[in-house]
Each structure stands twice: as structure tokens, then as C-alpha cells.
Structure 1
Amino acid sequence: MPKMKTKKSLAKRVKVTGTGKWKIASAYTSHLAQNKSTKQKRHLRKASLMDKTDQSRLKNLLQK
């Protein structure tokens, strides 16, 4: 059986922290940005952690 290939589309969007959690960028950052408040855009710049239910669903796509 051949090796599993890493889904590069997911690998480009996810960074794994030291404790094994997945760090992702926030959505809603660039499209229609002029209508969003400065506070909203500032908070969207920060990365967030992926929910563990999504992480368990997608973990077999990220073979590292």
C-alpha cells in the first residue's frame, strides 16, 4: 500500500503548536474590509486555535 500524501491545501493553512494544537488564521480579513471597524480588523489579525472536533476530523489529511 502506498504512503499517504499530505494535503498541501491544509498544510499551507495550519501550523502545529508545541502541544499539538492547530493554529489557523482568522477568516473575514480582506474581503469588504472597508466596511469593518478598525477594532474588528485588529482582532482578526491574530491567529486562533482550531476546534478539537475539526482537528480530529482533519488529522488524517495532514500526514507529517
Structure 2
Amino acid sequence: MPKMKTRRAAAKRFSKTGTGKIKRNHAFMNHMLEHKPKSAKRKLRKSTTMAKGDVKRTERLIPYK
């Protein structure tokens, strides 16, 4: 069976932690930032772990990462 190919778009967006969880960045930080509260922008800056329901689908996109 041939090797699976990594989806390059997903590889640029997601990474794995040491324990195998998937890290992602928050959305809504690209434009129209003057309308968003400072506290909301501060919270969106940090990365977070992927939701449990999306992990299985995302792991197929980045099999070797």
C-alpha cells in the first residue's frame, strides 16, 4: 500500500503536541479588528486544542505530522 500524502494546507494550519493532541489557531483575527473588544482579541491570539469531534477527520489530513 502506498504512503498517504499529507494535505499541505492542513499541515500549515495544524500541529501536534507532545501528547498527540492537535493544536490550532483561533479564527476571526484577520480583519475588522477595530470593532472587536481588546479582551476578545487578546483571547483569540492564543492557540488551543482541536475539538474532540474534529480530531479524527483532521488526523487523516496530517498522518505523519
Q: TM over 0.5, yes or no?
A: yes
Partner of 1:4: 4
Q: Which portions of structure 1, spanning 4 or more consecutive aligned residues, are displaced by more than 4 angstroms?
A: none
Partner of 2:48: 48
**1:2 Cα deviation (Å)?**
2.9
TM-score by length of 2: 0.88
Partner of 2:25: 25
Q: Partners of 1:60 and 1:43 in 2: how far apart?
A: 28
**1:15 Cα deviation (Å)?**
1.2
- Segments of structure 2 that go 5 or more residues without pairing to the other structure are none
RMSD in angstroms over aligned alpha carbons?
1.1
1:7-26 superposed Cα distances (whole Å, 9 cap, x missing partner): 01000001100110011000
Number of equivalences: 64
Percent identical pairs in the alignment equals 44
TM-score by length of 1: 0.90
